[in-house]
Amino acid sequence: MTRTIEQTLDEIERFFERAAEVEGIATSAATRLAPTSDAAIDALAKKFDLTIPDDVRRFWRRGLNYKELSLRGDKPAFAGFDWYNLEYLARDMPDSRELAKLYEADEPGRRVLEKGIPLSYSSPQIIWDPGGGIVHFSTHNDLRPPIADSFTTFLEHWLEAGCHSSHAITRWLPKVQHLVPGRIPPEKNLWITYYTQEFVPYA
């Protein structure tokens, strides 16, 4: 059964509520990505000449309530991305476009900075890359292959990974495994596979 992005976002919100109550998990105050109007999304698309996928539009229209979660200690782990609202995205996109000029014309990183849509703020960022899907990109590293071909698919796998964002994913998963839906086994999870391969010293 194909799930809508709205259904997945509902589950993500419930995950954060429940995970924040797990013993040993530190949590921030609640954070809210407020719903955005179609008019504001259309204005952003026009201003920066963007082709915005339908599921990204629906994500912004719905909004998301979440927390930043963490495990402290020698091998810390973190969950929750700092999702961009459109006001700050519009503020920062000109900087991305300027950074693109530092790349050669045929470098993939240039395409991401010129045409991509950053969805999260902190580096490495979650970015919609029109050249292939969702990437996890930092200007300090070469562009890696897309994690997922759509934002909806990325969110489904991210939820099943306990909404992990950085560092010790192998420590994080056992702590929250009982809270995820369990429709995607860890060995087939796109975020888990990507992170454990690309960030070996941290994972």
- Listed by start position, the domains of the chain span 5-198
Check: CB of residue 163 under 8 Å from CB of residue 130: no
For residue 6, give the 3-state DSSP assignment: helix
pLDDT, tens only, 17-31? 999 999 999 998 789
d(CA 13, CA 125): 21
Query: Beta-carbon neighbour count of residue 119 at 10 Å?
Result: 19
At 158 the pLDDT is: 98
- pLDDT, one tens digit per residue, over 111-160 is 999 999 999 999 999 999 998 999 999 998 888 999 999 999 999 999 99
**Distance from C-alpha of 141 to C-alpha of 158, rounded to nearest angstrom:** 22
Return the pLDDT at 45. Answer: 97
pLDDT tens, 172-185?
A: 999 999 999 999 99
pTM of the predicted structure, to 2 decimals: 0.95
Task: Round to whole Å and give the CA distance between 97 and 120.
Answer: 16
Radius of gyration for the chain, computed over Cα atoms and rounded to the nearest angstrom: 17
Q: Are 128 and 151 in contact (CB under 8 A)?
A: yes
Cβ proximity of 62 and 38 under 8 Å: no
Instruction: Report pLDDT for 201.
Output: 73
Please indicate whether residue 41 or residue 202 has the higher confidence score (pLDDT): 41
86-108 mean pLDDT: 94
Q: Which of 5, 1, 12 is nearest to 176 (CA)?
A: 12
| Cβ contacts of 22 within 8 Å, gap of 6 or more | 175, 176, 179
Residues in Cβ contact with 45 at an 8 Å cutoff, skipping those fewer than 6 apart: 51, 52
Residue 184 neighbours by CB distance under 10 Å = 17
Whether the link from the prior residue into 118 is cis, omega within 30° of 0, is no
